Amino acid sequence: MLRLGFNARSLLDHGGIGAYTRQLLRHLTTYMAEDRLTIFVPRLELLDFLPPGVHWEGIEVPGGNRVLWEQYQLPGVIAKHSFDCFHCPDFTLPSRLPCPGIITIHDLSFILHPEGVAPRTRWLYRTFVPKSAAQASLIFCDSEATAGDVRRQNWTSPNKIRVIPLGVEDVLFGELEDSQLRAFTTRVGIPGEYICYLGALDKRKNLPVLLKAYRLMLEGLTAGTPAPALVLAGPDHGERGKLELLAQQLEIADTTHFIGYVESDDLHALLQGATAFCYPSLFEGFGLPPLQAMAAGTPVIASSATSLPEVVGSAGILIDPHDPVAWSEALILLLTDRSTWLRYHQAGPDRARSLTWRQTARRSYDAYTQLSRMGEGILA
């Protein structure tokens, strides 16, 4: 029987790390029916999404400040239990841990692209991630690109690094009715025909290139071809004002829609309703939104940088993130060539089925059991 401890404080996060933690735990409970999973959280209601079961329990460790909670409050509570290993899915471990520890490092943006990381988060990760990596018995990375970045830091033995890709929600594979798509676009106030971006509005997402490509696309469409709107969905990380100004300068403000954060219940409609999905990011540890779009059957145009080729493979169009002309040409191709559109519409779900949260949990579980059976010394 595997006894796994799990730091689920990241459930407080509404972004990608919170989604990873939620999906990993949801599927781990199905794999660990014969094992014991103990989940530590600041508030027990954070675990309301999990199915009831006798093989897992939640333990509330109240506290606000992350460093105090993780480095000082949590170790004392962990010491009252006996675990084969302990997983922290948000980069850092408690410094005092009485069993082998595992961390997930999603990317090294705090080192490689610090301009897009909040100062407090940048300090936290730069202070504690190198120590945690050296201390950890295993390090999970979302992609080979991130694993390579971690290896180059020389924080730990390369033998301790495992690439475990993220996954996509099963619900995104289903096809919504046209009436459901119309209900969504009407509610959020966007046209029925649109090109979509989903993600934070920050510098490393490289959205000025998308706006310029959209303008070039409008100029390049032949007469009689309907021109879709451009929809940018996601929280503002300090760039929205600049992007709105650029849209005005490019004279595309009337057809460019900023709709902010989209709730998970609306993701399917947003993605399936789009004619094409664009993701011109300069740097990703994985890149969940393109995978979600592929699952929904929406043709994807993505940057050829960092981890995105691993995610998209041959099921989407990969383009130099610095070339707006190439992006506009790819958009025109999808809008005017039905056979090309259908090819990527069909290839996307097939690709996405190879990267599901169920598989993420399975690979994680296999790593936990390997660590518990083989011992830390084998991995050093």
Q: What is the pLDDT of residues 92-151, one digit of tens each?
A: 999 889 999 999 999 999 999 998 888 999 999 999 999 999 999 999 999 999 999 999
Given CA atoms 326, 328, 329, 331 in this order, what sign does their dihedral have?
positive
Residues 226, 301 within the same domain: yes
174 & 163 share domain: no
Examine the domain organization and report whether 285 and 226 are in the same domain.
yes
Q: Do residue 253 and residue 142 come from a single domain? A: no
Pull the structure tokens for residue 355: 């990267």
- Residue 178's domain comprises 170-352
Tens of pLDDT, residues 60-88: 999 889 999 999 999 999 999 999 999 99
Look at residue 99 in the predicted model and tell me its pLDDT.
Answer: 95
* Number of alpha carbons in the 13 Å side-chain half-sphere of residue 66: 18
Q: pLDDT band at residue 376, thresholds of 50, 70 and 90?
A: very low
**CA 331 to CA 351: how far, in whole Å?**
21
Q: Is 309 helix (H, G, I), strand (E, B) or coil?
A: helix
Mean pLDDT of the chain: 95
Whether residues 318 and 335 fall in one domain = yes
Residues 348 and 317 in one domain: yes
- Does residue 143 sit in the same domain as residue 178? no
The pLDDT of residue 117: 86
Residues 261 and 328 in one domain: yes
Percent of the chain at pLDDT exceeding 90: 91
Q: In this predicted structure, which of 175-184, 232-241, 369-378 has the lowest mean pLDDT?
A: 369-378
User: pLDDT band at residue 17, thresholds of 50, 70 and 90?
Assistant: very high
Please tell me whether residues 83 and 153 are part of one structural domain: yes
**19 close to 89: Cβ distance less than 8 angstroms:** no
pLDDT at 378: 43
The percentage of the chain sitting over the pLDDT mark of 70, rounded to a whole number, equals: 98
Query: Which of the four pLDDT bands, split at 50, 70 and 90, describes residue 377?
Result: very low
Same domain, 344 and 361: no
Domain containing residue 208: CATH number: 3.40.50.2000
Regarding whether 338 and 368 lie in a shared domain, the answer is no
The tally of domains found in the chain comes to: 2
Q: Within a 10 A sphere around the Cβ of 314, how many other Cβ atoms?
A: 10
Q: Which two structure tokens, joined as six digits, stand for 170?
A: 């099963």
Are 149 and 190 found together in one domain? no
User: What pLDDT shows up at residue 187?
Assistant: 96
Confidence of residue 234 (pLDDT cuts 50, 70, 90): very high
